[in-house]
């Protein structure tokens, strides 16, 4: 009797252990493709790029170790780097609030409507599915200085519209205005957030005599702050990686990358030009790492600051 | 007495402009006029594109604009698509090769990987999943140059391979979406299958996949859109005009000297149209996919 029980007791953990091991093996079989892909196409390239950022390399000859020279040059004597930061920063500072406010406004309108919501939602979302390339092609024509509807509209008010994408003072502003057209994704995320706010809060506020503005500032905005935060982080990351639209518009009709006169020289455009047109791989990868750090720091700042303005129900209790 | 102070007075005692019904009416008028006005504003660029695409070239550059094209030049579409210098039929074929190659790989590999993360336990799983999520935040710039060098070295540049092969190793966003969905499938179903001696492959194909059409459709549709619109990587890897997908082809058309605006707009319409049609058929998938993302952020 005793031997039988001890045997069963001993057998149980063993079989469970081998079962767990079998499951672990199965897990690694399942995720193997991702692990291999991660090492081949992400981790490996990251380590390699860290190395080449300390070299001078044009692909054709062997890379030459130059220490911190690339980084030093970027920060001390590269006017294009400064210009690209200025362009990207300006774009981020203006386009992010503009598109977030547009998206939020559209979401609130959709949330207020009772009938035909899906029709309007489709309409506002439609520009988002269009490729950046097609949108750029289309908006060039809309911003056409002589025959475009925007300058035509300005003309009705007696304003002589600018040359937009051919004018270094206005090209970037054209891109900023354009960015508020494709906010469908952010709008849907806001809409989901609005639907998640308990109705009872509004009903209670209404009984207490709170008007519409008070309800917006005291309920909607605080309850929506996690969603705003989520959209903001994604928008910051996106703005610093802007490429397609600016590339298509600035290179149109055999123009130069980031033109006219480098007024739309976004960070990624400058990087692309250095790496793939001028073949300065070492220098361009150093730029890529700086971009990585900029995005990382900005994301961290947004994350840290979120404690100040993102409403957290769990914390309040 | 208490009743008198409570503000429930008979409707007729209050003037109409103070009633609740009047308030809702005003509210609805404001909301709907804004919605309609903004819809017109958002749709206007599309109208401008389509109307230009249908105009004769000499009617394009006039002011005030010709709001309704006269004559309607349907032939613009034919002219834009049959230019031998700009082989649009080839561009479409190339895009479809990429669509099929990438989507097949992504659906198969991501199903397998997501199942592992959703259902199987192993030491190190949580760290691995954290790394997977971290790659979502990684800017592409950091890996693009070394990747290019790698593909250049093995002679894959100017082929579709650098665009397709990496997608066969899973994609973090799709894995995440699928994992979330798989976790909602009741475990009993798989256990029953396992009792019957089903192996991993059978569980996946007989139990998981048939129950996961909603999330598979979302991944399929969002991938279709992203591949259709992809610009940077094809621009980087493909050198021959005959290998361009539609987005790069359209940008190339846009960059030509003396481009005819009506033909350029006709080409833009044709490039956008398939996506717009897919969008109207599978709208729910788009909306769900985005909302799922939003939920992930909350």
SS3 A1: coil
At residue A240 the predicted structure's pLDDT band, cuts being 50, 70 and 90, is very high
Q: Where are the domains of chain A?
A: 75-316
**Which of the two residues, A230 and B46, has the higher pLDDT score?**
B46
Q: Does A153 touch chain B (CB under 8 A)?
A: no
Contacts of B143 (CB under 8 A, 6+ apart): A41, A42, A45, A46, A49
Provide the number of structural domains found in chain B. 2
Tell me how far apart the alpha carbons of residues B180 and B118 are, in angstroms, rounded to a whole number: 7
Residue A212 pLDDT greater than 70, yes or no: yes
> Of the ranges A200-204, A284-288, A313-317, which one carries the lowest mean pLDDT score?
A313-317
**Helix spans in chain B (H):** 2-5, 20-53, 57-60, 75-81, 88-119, 125-137, 141-153, 161-164, 172-182, 187-195, 200-202, 209-211, 213-229, 232-237, 246-254, 261-281, 283-297
* Tally: H helices and E strands in chain A: 16, 2
Question: Is B64 a domain residue?
Answer: no
Does A309 or A14 have the greater pLDDT score?
Answer: A309
User: What pLDDT does residue B47 have?
Assistant: 95
**Residue B293 banded pLDDT, cuts 50, 70, 90:** low
Residue of chain B whose Cα is closest to the Cα of A241: B139
CA dihedral (A5, A11, A12, A13) positive or negative: positive
Check if the beta carbon of residue A181 is closer than 8 Å to that of residue A98: no
Average pLDDT value for residue range A240-253: 88
For chain A positions 75-94, those within 8 Å of chain B (CB to CB) are: none
Six-digit token pair at A303? 């994350």
Calculate how close chain A gets to B188, using CA atoms only, in Å.
17
Chain A residues with CB-CB distance to B232 below 8 A: 243-244
- Cα separation, A126 vs B38, whole angstroms: 13
Q: Give domain status of residue B209, yes or no.
A: yes
Q: What is the pLDDT of residues A78-94, one digit of tens each?
A: 999 999 999 999 999 99
- Portion of chain A with pLDDT greater than 70, in percent: 92
Q: Judge: A237–B139 Cβ closer than 8 Å, yes or no.
A: yes
B168 and B215 fall within a common domain: yes
Residue showing tokens 């840290």: A304
Find chain A residues with C-beta within 8 A of B115's C-beta: 30
Please state, in angstroms and rounded to a whole number, the distance separating the CA atoms of residues B60 and B260: 9
Same domain, B238 and B274: yes
Name residues whose C-beta falls within 8 Å of residue B132's C-beta, 6 or more positions apart in sequence.
Answer: A34, A38, B117, B172, B175, B176
B10 assigned to some structural domain:
yes
- pLDDT: is B62 or A184 the higher one? A184
Local confidence band at A253 (pLDDT 50, 70, 90 cut-offs)? low
Decide: B7 and B18 in contact? Cβ < 8 Å.
no
Handedness of CA B36, B39, B40, B41 (dihedral sign): positive
Phi-psi region of B130 (alpha: psi -120 to 50; beta: other; left: phi over 0): alpha
The answer to whether position B69 is within a domain reads no
Chain A, window 221-260: residues with a beta carbon less than 8 angstroms from a chain B beta carbon:
226-227, 229-231, 233-234, 237, 240-241, 243-244, 247-248, 251-254
Q: pTM of the full predicted structure? A: 0.87
B234, A244 contact by CB (below 8 A): no
Using the Cβ of A35 and the Cβ atoms of chain B, whether some distance falls under 8 Å is answered with yes
Q: Is the pLDDT of residue A132 over 80?
A: yes
Average pLDDT, chain B: 88
Q: Is residue B98 part of a domain?
A: yes
pLDDT at A61: 85
What distance, in Å, lies between the first and last C-alpha atoms of chain B? Answer: 48
* Residues linked to residue A55 through DSSP beta bridges, in sequence order: A65
Please give the backbone phi and psi of residue A57, each rounded to the nearest 5 degrees, phi first.
-150, 130
B37-B22-A224 Cα angle (round to 5): 60
How much is the pLDDT for A9? Answer: 44
Contacts B46 to A, Cβ<8 Å: 126
Residues of chain B contacting residue A191, judged by C-beta atoms under 8 Å apart: 291
Selected residues 156-195 of chain A with any CB under 8 Å from a CB in chain B:
181, 185, 188-189, 191-193
Mean pLDDT of the region B221-244:
94
Which of B141, B152, B157, B176 is the best residue to mutate to test the A interface, defined by the most A CB atoms within 10 Å of its own CB? Answer: B141
Band (A55; pLDDT cuts 50, 70, 90): very high
Set of chain A residues whose Cβ sits within 8 Å of the Cβ of B63: 146-147, 152
Shortest Cα distance, chain A CAs vs residue B213, angstroms = 20
Test A146 with B61 for CB contact under 8 angstroms: yes
**Using 50, 70 and 90 to split pLDDT, how confident is the model at A317?**
very low
- Cβ contact A48:A288 at 8 Å: no
Cα nearest neighbour of A22 on chain B: B122
Rounded to an integer, the average pLDDT of B64-78 is 88
What angle do helix axes B125-137 and B88-119 make, rounded to 10 degrees? 150
Res. B36 pLDDT band, cuts 50 70 90 = very high
Using the predicted structure, report yes or no on whether residue B11 has a pLDDT greater than 60.
Answer: no
Report which of A42, A46, A71 is spatially closest to residue A56, judged by C-alpha positions.
A71
Question: Which of B35, B43, B143 lies at the smallest CB-CB distance from A49?
Answer: B143
pLDDT at A16: 67
The answer, yes or no, to whether residue B9 has pLDDT greater than 70, is no
What is residue B7's predicted lDDT score, i.e. its pLDDT? 52
Domain that holds residue B155: 80-297
Q: Do the chains contact at A137 and B264, CB–CB below 8 Å?
A: yes
If you classify domain A75-316 with CATH, what class do you get? mainly alpha
pLDDT score at A313 = 63
- Higher per-residue pLDDT: B15 or A291: A291
Q: Quote the ipTM score.
A: 0.85
Q: Is the pLDDT of residue B15 over 80?
A: no
Rounded distance, CA A251 to CA A248, Å? 6
Identify whether B12 is part of a domain.
Answer: yes
The residue in chain A having the minimum alpha-carbon distance to the alpha carbon of residue B282 is A122
Closest Cα in chain B to A153: B64
Quote the pLDDT of residue A227.
87
CATH of the domain at B134: 1.10.3720.10
Of A34, A116, A130, the CB nearest to B175: A34
Strands (E), A59-133: 64-65
Lowest mean per-residue pLDDT among A98-112, A244-258, B8-22: B8-22
Q: Please tell me the predicted confidence (pLDDT) of residue A91.
A: 96
Q: Do B152 and A59 lie within an 8 Å CB cutoff?
A: yes
Does B268 have pLDDT greater than 90? yes
Q: Which residue has the higher pLDDT, B288 or A55?
A: A55
| Minimal Cβ distance to B145: which of A112, A136, A281 | A281
Greatest CA separation found in chain A? 104
Distant-in-sequence contacts of A256-259, Cβ < 8 A, 24+ apart? A258/A84, A258/A87, A259/A171
Cα–Cα distance for residue pair A82/A88, rounded to 1 Å: 10
Interface test with A, best of B294, B295, B296, B298 (most A CBs within 10 A): B294
Directed axis angle between helix A244-251 and helix B246-254, to 10°? 30
Q: Band the pLDDT of B175: cuts 50, 70, 90.
A: very high
State how far residue B237 is from chain A, nearest Cα, in angstroms.
Answer: 10
For the ranges A41-55, B43-57, B163-177, B249-263, the lowest mean pLDDT is seen at B249-263
User: Mean pLDDT across the stretch B90-103?
Assistant: 96
Confidence of residue B296 (pLDDT cuts 50, 70, 90): very low
Nearest chain B residue to A25 by CA: give it: B122
Residue B131 and residue B191 in contact, taking contact as beta carbons nearer than 8 Å: no
A30 to B229: CB separation less than 8 angstroms, yes or no: no
Residue B266 and residue B135 share a domain: yes
For residues B212 and B99, the answer to whether their CB atoms sit within 8 Å is: no
Measured in whole angstroms, how far is the alpha carbon of residue B294 from the centre of its chain? 15
Q: Residues B137, B29: one domain?
A: no
**Contacts across the A-B interface (CB distance below 8 Å):** 272
Asked whether residue B273 is assigned to any structural domain, the reply reads yes
Q: Do B48 and B103 sit in the same domain of this protein?
A: no
Residue A55 backbone phi and psi in degrees, to 5: -125, 170
- Cβ <8 Å between A31 and B128: yes
Cβ burial of A34 (10 Å; 0-12, 13-18, 19+) is buried
Distance CA B51, CA A299 (A): 43
Chain A residues close to B265, C-beta within 8 Å: 138, 141
- pLDDT tens digits, one per residue of B270-292: 999 999 998 888 877 777 766 66
What is the mean predicted confidence (pLDDT) over A212-235?
Answer: 89
CA distances from B211 to A297, A316, B183, B224, B295 (A): 41, 40, 12, 21, 21
Q: Say if residue B37 is in the same domain as residue B87.
A: no
pLDDT top residue among B259 and B39: B39
Q: Is residue B287 part of a domain?
A: yes
Task: Answer whether A216 touches B (CB < 8 Å).
Answer: no
Rounded average pLDDT over B62-73: 85
In this predicted structure, the answer to whether residue A13 has a pLDDT above a threshold of 70 is no
């Amino acid at each position: 009797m005793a031997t039988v029980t001890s045997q069963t007791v001993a057998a149980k953990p063993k079989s469970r252990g081998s079962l767990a091991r079998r499951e672990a093996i199965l897990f690694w079989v399942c995720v193997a493709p991702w692990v291999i892909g991660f090492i081949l196409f992400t981790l490996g390239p990251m380590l390699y790029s860290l190395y080449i950022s300390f070299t001078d390399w044009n692909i054709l000859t062997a890379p030459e170790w130059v220490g911190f020279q690339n980084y030093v040059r970027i920060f001390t004597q590269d006017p294009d780097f400064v210009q690209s930061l200025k362009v990207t920063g300006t774009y981020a500072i203006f386009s992010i609030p503009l598109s977030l406010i547009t998206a939020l406004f559209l979401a609130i309108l959709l949330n207020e409507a009772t009938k035909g919501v899906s029709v309007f939602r489709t309409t506002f979302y439609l520009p988002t599915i269009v490729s950046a390339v097609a949108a750029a092609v289309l908006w060039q024509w809309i911003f056409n200085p002589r025959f475009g509807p925007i300058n035509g509209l300005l003309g009705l008010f007696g304003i002589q519209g600018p040359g937009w994408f051919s004018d270094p003072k206005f090209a970037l502003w054209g891109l900023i205005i354009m960015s508020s057209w494709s906010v469908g994704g952010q709008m849907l995320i806001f809409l989901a957030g609005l639907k998640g706010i308990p109705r009872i809060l509004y009903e209670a506020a209404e009984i207490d005599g709170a008007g519409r503005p008070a309800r917006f500032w005291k309920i909607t905005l605080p309850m929506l702050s996690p969603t705003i935060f989520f959209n903001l982080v994604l928008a910051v990351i996106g703005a610093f990686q802007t490429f397609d639209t600016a590339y298509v518009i600035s290179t149109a009709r055999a123009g130069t990358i980031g033109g006219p006169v480098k007024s739309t020289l976004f960070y990624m455009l400058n990087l692309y030009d250095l790496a793939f047109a001028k073949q300065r791989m070492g220098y361009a990868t150093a730029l890529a790492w700086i971009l990585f750090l900029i995005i990382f720091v900005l994301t961290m700042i947004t994350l840290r600051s979120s404690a100040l303005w993102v409403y957290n129900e769990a914390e309040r209790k | 007495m208490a009743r008198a102070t409570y503000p429930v007075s008979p409707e007729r005692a209050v003037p109409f402009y103070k009633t609740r019904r009047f308030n809702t009416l005003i509210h609805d008028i404001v909301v709907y006029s804004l919605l309609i006005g903004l819809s017109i504003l958002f749709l206007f660029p599309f109208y401008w594109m389509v109307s230009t695409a249908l105009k004769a070239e000499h009617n394009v550059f006039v002011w005030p604009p010709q709001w309704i094209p006269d004559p309607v030049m349907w032939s613009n579409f034919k002219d834009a698509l049959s230019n031998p210098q700009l082989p649009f039929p080839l561009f479409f074929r190339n895009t479809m090769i990429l669509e099929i190659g990438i989507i097949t790989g992504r659906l198969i590999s991501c199903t397998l990987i997501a199942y592992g993360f959703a259902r199987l336990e192993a030491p190190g799983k949580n760290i691995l999943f954290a790394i997977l999520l971290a790659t979502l935040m990684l800017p592409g710039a950091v890996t693009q140059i070394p990747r290019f060098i790698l593909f250049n070295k093995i002679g894959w540049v100017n082929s579709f391979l650098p665009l397709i092969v990496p997608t066969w190793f899973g994609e973090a966003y799709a894995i995440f979406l699928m994992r979330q969905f798989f976790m909602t499938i009741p475990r009993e179903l798989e256990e029953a299958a396992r009792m019957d001696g089903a192996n991993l492959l059978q569980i996946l194909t007989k139990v998981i996949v048939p129950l996961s059409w909603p999330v598979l459709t979302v991944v399929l549709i969002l991938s279709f859109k992203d591949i259709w619109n992809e610009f940077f990587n094809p621009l980087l890897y493909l050198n021959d005009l005959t290998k361009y997908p539609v987005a790069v082809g359209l940008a190339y058309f846009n960059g030509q000297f003396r481009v005819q605006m009506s033909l350029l707009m006709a080409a833009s319409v044709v490039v956008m149209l398939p996506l717009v049609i897919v969008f109207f058929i599978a709208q729910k998938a788009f909306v769900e996919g985005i909302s799922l993302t939003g939920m992930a952020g909350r």
